[in-house]
Chain A
Amino acid sequence: DQQVKQNSPSLSVQEGRISILNCDYTNSMFDYFLWYKKYPAEGPTFLISISSIKDKNEDGRFTVFLNKSAKHLSLHIVPSQPGDSAVYFCAAKIYAGNNRKLIWGLGTSLAVNP
């Protein structure tokens, strides 16, 4: 049962336009969310995160929005650049006993076309 869902496997956007990547979750115990970017054959790199007590966090071209009532978060990239083409993973933090672990979505492949 996928607790973190990225329902769009792929997204194609024109350079300079906005990219919106979506993530839905089912567990209300998640209290921290992260977005990672991954190129083929490389490890994921951290992009931006948000605590569940906030509804927006911004870092340069990247903004993450959190809607707790809808259990939905989104990553906005403005303006999109060809170098943004990668797979984007959404992850959510939960406590497992005394430990914290991340639950990962399956990723969305973003293609930014020149």
Chain B
Amino acid sequence: DGGITQSPKYLFRKEGQNVTLSCEQNLNHDAMYWYRQDPGQGLRLIYYSQIVNDFQKGDIAEGYSVSREKKESFPLTVTSAQKNPTAFYLCATKGTSGQETQYFGPGTRLLVL
């Protein structure tokens, strides 16, 4: 069953704690993206990766970190430096360079205790 999986669906973070959100895909897509959505807002780009072992900051990268050691995986770490982490986090992928459509996972909701 092809697709994008994000885990966990809900995640709770204590103050000062780093947490990692998982994103896995078996679509064989090269590019992967992390977005954040806040209530009543559009999607804001956190980080993206066009190929393995390479990633770029998006518009709101402060307080976040990523890695891309495998094509299938693009985990996002929300660090303690991110002062307002409560949001809905979405992972997306994109296929070959001729395509522009991004495909999204089901999302992870991060809540602060």
Contacts and interface: CB of A to CB of B under 8 A. Distances in A.
Same complex origin of A and B:
yes
Interface of A: 4, 9, 32, 34, 36, 41-46, 49, 89, 91, 93, 99-102, 104-107
Interface stretch (B12-20, B60-68, B73-81, B97-105): B97-105
Q: Is the interface of B mostly helix, strand, loop or mixed?
A: strand
B104 A34 contact: no
B109 interface: yes
A46 B103 contact: yes
B107 A42 contact: yes
A104 B43 contact: yes
A93 B100 contact: yes
Most A CB atoms within 10 A — which of B40, B43, B45, B58?
A: B43
B45 A101 contact: yes
Given A104-B43, A106-B40, A107-B42, A44 B101 contact: no
B40 A42 contact: no
Interface of B: 4, 6, 40-45, 48, 50, 56, 58, 88, 90-92, 100-107, 109
Nearest to B6: A43
A34 B50 CA distance: 20
Given A105-B42, A106-B40, A34 B107 contact: no
Contacts of A42: 106-107
Contacts of B90: 43-44
A89 B37 CA distance: 12
Contacts of B100: 32, 34, 49, 93, 100, 102
